[in-house]
Amino acid sequence: MKVQPYSLLTDFDINLFKAGKHFQLHEKLGAHLVEVDGVKGTYFAVWAPSARSVSVVGDFNYWMQGEHTLYVRWDESGIWEGFIPGVEQGALYKYKIQSHNNGIITEKADPFALYCEKPPQTASVVWDLKYKWKDEKWMKARPVTNQLDKPYSVYEVHLGSWRRNVEENRFLTYIELADELVAYVKETGFTHVEFMPVMEYPYDPSWGYQLVGYFAPTSRFGKPQDFMYLVDKLHQAGIGVILDWVPSHFPSDAHGLGFFDGSHLYEHPDMRKGYHPDWKSLVFNYGRNEVRSFLISNAIFWLQHYHVDGLRVDAVASMLYLDYSRKDGEWEPNIHGGRENLDTISFLKDFNEAVYSNFDGVQTIAEESTSFPMVSRPTFQGGLGFGMKWMMGWMHDTLQYFKKEPIYRSHHQNDITFSMTYAFTENFMLPLSHDEVVYGKHSILGRMPGDEWQRFANLRLLYGYMFTHPGSKLLFMGAEFGQSEEWKFDGSLDWHLLEYDFHKGVKTLITDLNALYKSQPALFEKQFSHDGFEWINYSDNQNAVISFIRKGDNPKENLVVVCNFTPVLRDNYRIGLPTKGKLTEIFNSDKTEYGGSGNLNPKAIKIEATSWNGREFSAKLTLPPLGITVLKIG
């Protein structure tokens, strides 16, 4: 059972790899089940240019170094490869690498492994990705249904803590989640789920953001095909799937990518660029072509083999700036004297161009917290090429506003209206994510002031404002029913809260808001355009009320939105309107089934020929306390 010379790589592959343009690298490197001259076995290929020798060690050779030594390619690519007969699916393996650098020996998991041992075990597993998909209907419609002019209401999920098996105190499996999670997301009406990182990671408290197995869904919840089954079931239920993707940093665990072949292979060799002080992790060398091929191939891999509909790219700001979390003297300016990381900018553009040129109807989403320009603008216009960007400013200002006692809100009207001054500079997604319910920040409900009724009324108002504000939406799990406590990664959500009316009412409200968002074109057709929004009145700070119009392609479907940020019931509140006719209320956060007091506008309201707010027409409404009302002009 000696290693036999064999290769899946052509000269063209090697040229693309060296140029940073090989975006199907996962089909060439790693472990691949093949048949050579009628003999079944596994072909192994690994990039280790500083190696003196590379051995495959595993349960098939008693983990003995030197039993199966790979051949180094002649073309100076630094790739070691070979075919080992008899190695079957399920075999455990690692690479034992002896470096030219003082004989350093490393033992590494396969960077391209398709499956990994369940942590804390660290070996790679020989595997294939055979699976019969049943989501043809979704995939065929996706180029239309997953575009930016369609509803995008995202439910962010951490698979290990959404719900647990109580009797056995364990994670739910991918298969179990395909029943329970899919049914729940369908019931509540979200259009997409976003999974916090599912790629293999060694340390649970990292929440998945410290990856070692970039091509392997974590074995905590099952096999690769089990995760495919979960995605498949979501698609069959009409629900899109977004994955958190982490090209920003990786851990220094001994079996991971760090110091891979006794050299700084994947990480930047200058620790001013190659080490992240906040997370104590290593940073990819975005200027190295082979690393770019690795990362972009990884993005393509999840879209291609797991039918993923979008990638949310984590910590983009940390990638873009050379001085991110660094003091003077701890970073070096770029060649132009600036703080921007030019290699990262080039890499992100290449990544987005590769994604959008290879897949119809997918989206990339940047978690980018600064004012870096044109993040979600096409690369041919000079942008980074993302489809959307998280609107961190909206999140911060809105939560700060809602934390204030209503009596003080009249003095802070600008906090709630300021977002509209820049809302259309990017394609913004409004996030209330996991980051906002940890580290002593309290839950979203826990931020709300007042007695119990007011806290829940504020929460319903916040969600109503979020769903009617321009942009797509993201809500972290538990927020949809008013989770009281901060999120805990090592437990389950507090599902028992749904036994209580106020929490049950929040879930009903979110379900209705999702239905409203999906059924009203004015809320999504122009959600990223100036043409989709018009203020009625943003300056009524005395009453802490704002009012605006949301617009779609058809003016007859325009909506009027009025928010009352105080606990005062306002009868006969007049707003200016652009046309005559009548107003019909289609949503009110004060409904009794939500836990509200039932102050509605039950009958159609006649629009009068009385000028107001600079408009020729107007109407009088009932504004519920700490409530939002949405009306249709007809």
Place of tokens 């390619």: 73
pLDDT for res 169: 84
- Residue 36 tokens read as 């050579």
Length of the chain: 634
The Cα 80–Cα 48 span in angstroms is 7
Q: Is 168 a catalytic residue?
A: no
pLDDT for res 634: 83
Place of tokens 């931020």: 447
The residues of the chain that CATH labels 2.60.40.1180 are: 530-633
Q: For every residue of 602-623, which 3-state class applies, written as one string?
A: CCCEEEECCCECCECEEEEEEE
Phi-psi region of 340 (alpha: psi -120 to 50; beta: other; left: phi over 0): beta
Q: Is 226 a catalytic residue?
A: no
Place of tokens 């209907």: 137
Q: For every residue of 447-514, which 3-state class applies, written as one string?
A: HCCCCHHHHHHHHHHHHHHHHHCCCEEEEECCHHHCCCCCCCCCCCCCHHHHHCHHHHHHHHHHHHHH
The active-site residue out of 81, 367, 397, 525 is 367
The Cα 94–Cα 108 span in angstroms is 6
The residues of the chain that CATH labels 2.60.40.10 are: 11-125
pLDDT for res 166: 84
Query: To 5 degrees, how large is the angle CA 102–CA 104–CA 107?
Result: 165
Q: Strand runs (DSSP E) across 158-258, as ranges?
A: 164-165, 170-171, 192-195, 199-200, 213-217, 240-245
- Residue 464 tokens read as 């109503």
The Cα 604–Cα 477 span in angstroms is 36
The Cα 35–Cα 43 span in angstroms is 9
Q: Yes or no: is domain 11-125 CATH 1.10.3290.10?
A: no
- Residue 530 tokens read as 């100036």
DSSP element (H, E) containing 597: none
Give tens-digit pLDDT for 306-356: 999 999 999 999 999 999 999 998 999 999 999 999 999 999 999 999 999
Report the Cα 186 to chain-centroid distance in Å. 19
pLDDT for res 596: 98
pLDDT for res 101: 78
Q: Yes or no: is domain 152-361 CATH 3.20.20.80?
A: yes
The Cα 350–Cα 625 span in angstroms is 50
Cβ–Cβ under 8 Å, residues 107 and 97: yes
DSSP element (H, E) containing 390: strand 388-390
Nearest alpha carbon to residue 483 among 473, 493, 491: 493
- Residue 28 tokens read as 């060439």
* HSE-CB for 158 with a 13 A CA cutoff: 23
Low-confidence ranges of the chain (pLDDT < 50): none
The Cα 341–Cα 470 span in angstroms is 31
Cβ–Cβ under 8 Å, residues 153 and 190: yes
DSSP element (H, E) containing 266: none
In terms of pTM, does the model score above 0.95? yes
Report the sign of the C-alpha dihedral through residues 433, 436, 442, 447, in that order: negative
Superfamily of domain 530-633, CATH level 4: Golgi alpha-mannosidase II (2.60.40.1180)
The active-site residue out of 194, 267, 314, 343 is 314
The Cα 249–Cα 214 span in angstroms is 12
For the chain, what percentages of helix, strand and coil (3-state, to nearest 5) are there? 30, 25, 45
The residues of the chain that CATH labels 3.20.20.80 are: 152-361
- Residue 412 tokens read as 């802070």
Give tens-digit pLDDT for 401-460: 999 999 999 999 999 999 999 999 999 999 999 999 999 999 999 999 999 999 999 999
